[in-house]
Structure 1
């Protein structure tokens, strides 16, 4: 196996490490009820984890200003009860421990805001396994996945054109992970236990169905 000292793995959070959908769903519905907005179908609700919440609200017909108001209602509710309503996906923490012990550099690249990302990671004893926590800003321009990945690349001193970018791998469950990493020429592994669809996963270089298969892919990638 080649030297892993420069091998960097970026992990999405919601839908990849943690099943946070119950809390996201409840907070989303609460937001729409407070705003007097129609509740969409369950099929549509199942697609809300992944993109920034204000984008989701705008996709329902809200203006940017109204979506910003909705985002604050959502964050308030999620902070009260939503963030705790989640579970760790089987085998993922143990996988992180093994990868860290093997010398991989682990970072998150999540569209979840920094405050809640840290709370969730600490809740499941994952926070200290990451060299760097890349996350979105609750109130700032860093919101979409490409911006988060750019933040991680800059923070761990990987730059455009640097051949070390070939030693970066993204793990995620939605098209936003696949497209965001592709923007930088980074391969992506799509995990099927998250919130994506077969159509989304088909655009990733790799697709895996459990943590054991993901571990094999990572070692083959090395």
Structure 2
């Protein structure tokens, strides 16, 4: 069965830790906020940026200032401090070769996501890049998935979400979609299973078989 595979970006296709963490530290320093521990910096990878800053107690004008400072550095430097996980180019080729349609579905703003996939040389694998809006009105994964499905004209029953965080799994469930969690990203132990992923894989090489199993 050929399906649409929606793939998360950060923590699934790419390891963005350096670019994201350095941009967070830059933003917080600009507001006089001390650098948080690594565990907090890691928690920023996956959820919408607005939500992560709010979890640090920044909201309203402070959150807006933090996001502006973050994006200033990220747009100049951070998006290039990023790398593909080993095995990703090969699995993208395998999935496309099997006849599946691929798209990116990320809570990162679309302009940044498009630049990243171009920079890393994987843009041609994807028919569409669905991301958040810069103003945050579309940022949660369920809304990003809605955009991708509507743009590509594919019903949810013919699509699978692949991602490394609970937000990816919950976003898929909001559409009645199947989902595959990946363990090489930034999920805590057991996070993907607790969220209810239909399958969980440990390496990119396992993805092709997992797609076949969850769509059988």
In structure 2, what is the equivalent of residue 122 of structure 1? 118
In structure 1, what is the equivalent of residue 160 of structure 2? 169
Deviations along 1:3-31, one digit per CA (max 9) or x if unpaired, are x1xx1100000000000111000000110
Number of aligned residue pairs: 213
1:27 aligns with 2:27: no
The range that moved more, 68-77 or 98-107, is: 98-107
Q: CA deviation at 1:140?
A: 4.7
Of 103, 121, 131, the residue aligned with 1:107 is 103
Of 32, 38, 43, the residue aligned with 1:42 is 38
Q: CA deviation at 1:205?
A: 1.5
Q: CA deviation at 1:165?
A: 2.0
Q: CA deviation at 1:64?
A: 2.5
Of 182, 185, 208, the residue aligned with 1:194 is 185
DSSP 3-state at the match of 1:78: helix
Instruction: Provide the C-alpha distance between the structure 2 equivalents of 1:64 and 1:187, rounded to a whole number of angstroms.
Output: 36
Note the residue ranges of structure 2 that are not aligned, 5 or more in a row. Answer: none
In structure 2, what is the equivalent of residue 94 of structure 1? 90
Instruction: Provide the C-alpha distance between the structure 2 equivalents of 1:19 and 1:140, rounded to a whole number of angstroms.
Output: 23
DSSP 3-state at the match of 2:44: coil
Normalized against structure 1, the TM-score is what?
0.91
Deviations along 1:54-110, one digit per CA (max 9) or x if unpaired, are 111111111222111211110001011111111110111221122112211111100
Of 200, 207, 210, the residue aligned with 1:214 is 207
Instruction: Provide the C-alpha distance between the structure 1 equivalents of 2:171 and 2:165, rounded to a whole number of angstroms.
Output: 10
DSSP 3-state at the match of 2:111: helix
Note the residue ranges of structure 1 that are not aligned, 5 or more in a row. Answer: 159-163
Deviations along 1:104-158, one digit per CA (max 9) or x if unpaired, are 1111100111111111101121111111111111235111111111111111123
CA contact (8 A) 2:50 2:136 kept: no
Q: CA deviation at 1:52?
A: 1.3
CA contact (8 A) 1:170 1:189 kept: yes
Report the aligned-residue RMSD. Answer: 1.3
CA contact (8 A) 2:130 2:145 kept: yes
In structure 2, what is the equivalent of residue 131 of structure 1? 127
CA contact (8 A) 1:54 1:70 kept: no
